[in-house]
């Protein structure tokens, strides 16, 4: 990685979304390849009970892997609780679009403050029992209600984030941090993703912090895995890999 002075240091956050016992198998080989590039600090967005298939503490092998990653310098952030949104949508067109077209996993999109606080506390308590330090909360699909924003002020957390940047807590100061995301829903989206992301890389070359948002579905496509590894190798010559909490600190 580049050896940069404090005055010209640029950061790179490599973020693995939707990390859970049910999804880690998708990431395993990619993370192994990534480790071979050098000490790349990862931010792991861990879902406590992914799609209600069982809380992480029922999977000792997964927990051991997470503890190994923490030892390597990665961080764990709370990523919702169930990462699903099965509740009733209501008649509003925007709500229908956001919760049934844009995504089916916007768990915190419509929650009131009490619901959000209870769900966040439940996740933090579970991770606390496992001995996992947590400094950040990222809502699934980066969607959070006004109630969720209110709830976050109750917890000793350093950050949240949305598609466009980091959110410093508890004051909700927004720090721009462009995000590269692969779209794997269809063949044409997969074909266009390198073009979109490379154009964004060019536009954002001078930004202090850049984020790469990887998802389990990316790992199902050889083209996506190769793209991420290739761009990471290039970016690590220009930027310092840092966790989100490391950058905030």
Place of tokens 């991770």: 127
- Whether pTM > 0.85 for this model: the answer is yes
Q: Could you tell me if residue 63 is inside a domain?
A: yes
Confidence of residue 188 (pLDDT cuts 50, 70, 90): low
Q: Could you tell me if residue 196 is inside a domain?
A: yes
pLDDT of residue 110: 84
Q: For 29-77, how does the pLDDT look when each residue is reduced to its tens digit (9 = 90+)? A: 999 999 998 889 999 999 999 999 999 999 999 999 999 999 999 999 9
The answer to whether 144 and 106 are in contact (CB under 8 A) is no
Q: How many domains does the chain have?
A: 1
Residue 91, domain CATH: 3.20.20.370
Q: Which residues contact 162 (CB under 8 A, 6 or more apart)?
A: 142, 144, 174
Q: For 198-217, how does the pLDDT look when each residue is reduced to its tens digit (9 = 90+)? A: 999 999 999 999 999 999 99
Q: Could you tell me if residue 214 is inside a domain?
A: yes
pLDDT average, residue stretch 148-176:
97
Give me 100's structure tokens: 């049934």
pLDDT of residue 87: 73
pLDDT of residue 95: 66
Q: For 106-142, how does the pLDDT look when each residue is reduced to its tens digit (9 = 90+)? A: 688 889 999 999 999 999 999 999 999 999 999 999 9
Q: Could you tell me if residue 143 is inside a domain?
A: yes
Host domain of residue 128: 11-248
Q: For 139-149, how does the pLDDT look when each residue is reduced to its tens digit (9 = 90+)? A: 999 999 999 99
Q: Could you tell me if residue 5 is inside a domain?
A: no
Beta bridge partners of 16: 44, 214
pLDDT above 90 covers a percentage of the chain that reads: 78
The answer to whether 74 and 243 are in contact (CB under 8 A) is yes
Q: State yes or no: pLDDT of 175 exceeds 60.
A: yes
Compute CA distances 37 → 8, 56, 174, 230, whole Å. 22, 29, 31, 10
Residue 53 CA to residue 49 CA, distance in Å, equals 6
pLDDT above 70 covers a percentage of the chain that reads: 88
Q: Could you tell me if residue 35 is inside a domain?
A: yes
Confidence of residue 8 (pLDDT cuts 50, 70, 90): low
The answer to whether 222 and 184 are in contact (CB under 8 A) is no
């Amino acid at each position: 990685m580049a050896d940069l002075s404090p005055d010209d240091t640029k950061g790179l956050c490599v973020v693995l979304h939707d990390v859970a016992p049910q999804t880690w198998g998708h990431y395993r080989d990619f993370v192994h390849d990534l480790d071979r590039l050098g000490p790349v600090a990862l931010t792991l967005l861990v879902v406590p009970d992914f799609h209600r298939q069982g809380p992480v503490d029922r999977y000792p092998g997964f927990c051991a892997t997470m503890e190994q990653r923490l030892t390597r310098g990665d961080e764990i952030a709370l990523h919702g609780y169930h990462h699903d949104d099965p509740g009733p949508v209501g008649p509003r067109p925007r709500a229908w679009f956001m919760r049934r077209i844009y995504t089916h996993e916007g768990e915190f999109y419509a929650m009131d403050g009490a619901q959000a606080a209870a769900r966040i506390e439940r996740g933090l308590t579970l991770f606390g029992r496992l001995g996992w330090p947590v400094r950040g909360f990222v809502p699934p699909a980066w969607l959070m209600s006004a109630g969720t924003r209110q709830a976050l002020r109750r917890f000793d957390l350093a950050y949240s984030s949305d598609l466009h940047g980091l959110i410093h807590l508890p004051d909700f100061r927004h720090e721009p941090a462009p995000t590269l995301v692969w779209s794997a829903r269809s063949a044409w989206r997969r074909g266009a993703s390198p073009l979109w992301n490379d154009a964004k890389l060019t536009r954002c070359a001078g930004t202090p912090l850049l984020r790469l948002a990887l998802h389990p579905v990316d790992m199902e496509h050889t083209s996506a895995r190769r793209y991420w590894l290739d761009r990471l190798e290039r970016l690590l010559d220009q930027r310092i890999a840092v966790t989100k909490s490391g950058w905030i600190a």
